[in-house]
Amino acid sequence: MVEVASFRIERVEILRADGTLAAPLPAWAEDGAELVRLYRAMVLTRVYDTKSVNLQRTGRLGTVASSLGQEAVAVGTAAAMRPEDVFLPSFREQGAMLWRGVRIEELLTFWGGDERGSNWSGPREDFPICVPVGTHAPHAAGVATAFKLRREPRVAVCVLGDGATSKGDVYEAWNLAGVWRLPMVTVVNDNQWAISVPRSAQTAAATLAQKAIACGMPGIQVDGNDVIAVREVVGRAIERARSGEGPALVEALTYRLADHTTADDARRYRDDAEVSARWKEEPVARLRNFLVARGLWDKEREERLLAECTREVDRAVEAYLARPPAPATDMIDHVFAELPPAMAAQRASILRRAAERAERRSEPRGGRP
């Protein structure tokens, strides 16, 4: 027998679940202010998630997907990117989107069922939230192709879930990225559950990271509940891609502490005991313990931050709730880049109907049979 190939998959762990160090800190993480920034972003994400679930439960928001317990994956990934890189999120990356400049009000507008929420003021080249599973992976390869053809030192970064790694177009995207050495980094939010299907039923592969090997790119695991490790590992992959060395896959091991979305009840298919055990590993308390131990954080600062984040979210909620509904013509105006003559009549009739309805509403009660 001749061995023609072999591989090993590494896992990077820096902060232990109790907040003590398992490995030396990367140089950038010696800057306490930077760690506090990461902490603040995770707390803001959690406050936003909690609020958005409440809004859904009270009928003021559509279905939402909380990122409870996975904040470090999104925040760590975004923190590793440069502003000029392009981010392609799935529907659980609010932490990253907020970091990159999407506003809370815009996120709420989107989840409230309004396309205007995706026309955000922040990173204009970032992609809208990809709700179909994994279809943004080939898009990321396309963005990376554009960077490569235009010789721009930029990287396309996409985040998808463990379930998405079973999809054909995700594999096809990785294969293309590998063979064309595209500046593309995929972060797999391996939160162990694709709605009710556990990671063990998703693939017989020992890791998801090893799927990269078949595409000719490195795959690595990282503790996805450790924002320092995520930022470090994703950052290395991004800078490697930027320097022309090709794509990479980072499998961030984490856990979905909440339901899949507000339309799901996870208690029907997984044990409370499993979830309770996983709460001990969650990323926010872990970093807080570390910050406290380093003297960078205390109760007073924690309370101030919570109040600040709550205020920020509440202000955004007010603005979201006060936002007038989308004009009727929004339904027509973005189907094509220009209005085709055949749709002009449809647009006119929609406007007419909307005007009639408005007129009826403004009439006094009983004014018309």
Residue 169 in contact with other proteins, rule: CB under 8 A: yes
Active site residue 82: no
- Can you tell me the distance from the alpha carbon of 266 to that of 205, in angstroms, rounded to the nearest whole number? 25
Residue 2 bridge partners (DSSP): none
Q: Binding string, 225-254, against other proteins, x = CB under 8 A?
A: ------------------------------
- Out of 9, 25, 146, 328, which residue is the one contacting other proteins (CB under 8 A)? 146
Segment near other proteins (CB under 8 A); pick from 144-152, 189-197, 201-209, 360-368: 144-152
Which residue, 54 or 135, has its beta carbon nearer to other proteins? 135
CA atoms of 173 and 154, how far apart (whole Å): 18
Contacts to other proteins from residues 293-332, by CB under 8 A? 330
Applying the rule CB under 8 A, the residues between 333 and 362 that interact with other proteins are 333-338, 340-343
Residue selected from 104, 137, 164, 222 as contacting other proteins according to rule CB under 8 A:
137
Interaction of residue 164 with other proteins, rule CB under 8 A: no
In angstroms, the CA 30 to CA 32 distance is 6
Question: CB-based contacts of 70: which residues, under 8 Å, 6+ apart?
Answer: 92, 95, 189, 191, 224, 254, 255, 256, 257, 283
The answer to the question of residue 132 lying near other proteins (CB under 8 A) is yes
Judged by CB under 8 A, the residue of 119, 243, 276, 349 near other proteins is 119
Q: Closer CB to other proteins, residue 26 or residue 122?
A: 122
255 is catalytic: no
Q: What is the DSSP letter of 15?
A: B
Q: Which is nearer to other proteins, 79 or 86 (by Cβ)? A: 86
**Which string of DSSP letters, residue by residue, matches 22-72?**
SSPPPGGGG-HHHHHHHHHHHHHHHHHHHHHHHHHHTTSS------TT-HH
Would you say 112 or 283 has its CB closer to other proteins?
112
Nearest alpha-carbon partner for 26 in 231, 258, 315, 187: 231
Helices (H), 112-258: 136-149, 168-179, 227-242
Check the CA dihedral 129-62-314-51 and report its sign.
negative
| C-alpha span between 316 and 321 (Å, rounded) | 9
Give yes or no: 334 in active site: no
φ, ψ at 63 (rounded to 5°): -60, 130
Token pair of 342, please?
């055949």
Window 58 to 87, contacts with other proteins (CB under 8 A):
86
Stretch that binds other proteins, among 124-132, 195-203, 231-239, 353-361 (CB under 8 A): 124-132
**Which is nearer to other proteins, 115 or 274 (by Cβ)?**
115
Q: Do 312 and 44 meet the contact criterion of CB atoms below 8 Å apart?
A: yes
Interacting stretch for other proteins, rule CB under 8 A, among 15-23, 36-44, 65-73, 111-119? Answer: 111-119
Of the residues 260, 278, 286, 320, only one is catalytic, namely 260
Return all residues near 24 (Cβ < 8 A) that are at least 6 apart. 14
The answer to the question of residue 159 lying near other proteins (CB under 8 A) is no
Considering the rule CB under 8 A, would residue 120 count as an interface residue with other proteins? yes
3-class SS of residue 319: helix
Instruction: For other proteins, give the closer residue by CB, 62 or 138.
Output: 138
- Candidates 143, 159, 208, 249; binder of other proteins (CB under 8 A) is 143
Q: Which residues bind other proteins (CB under 8 A)?
A: 86, 88, 114-120, 124-125, 127-128, 132, 135-147, 149-150, 156, 168-169, 171-173, 175-176, 179, 330, 333-338, 340-343
Cite the active site residues: 256, 260, 269
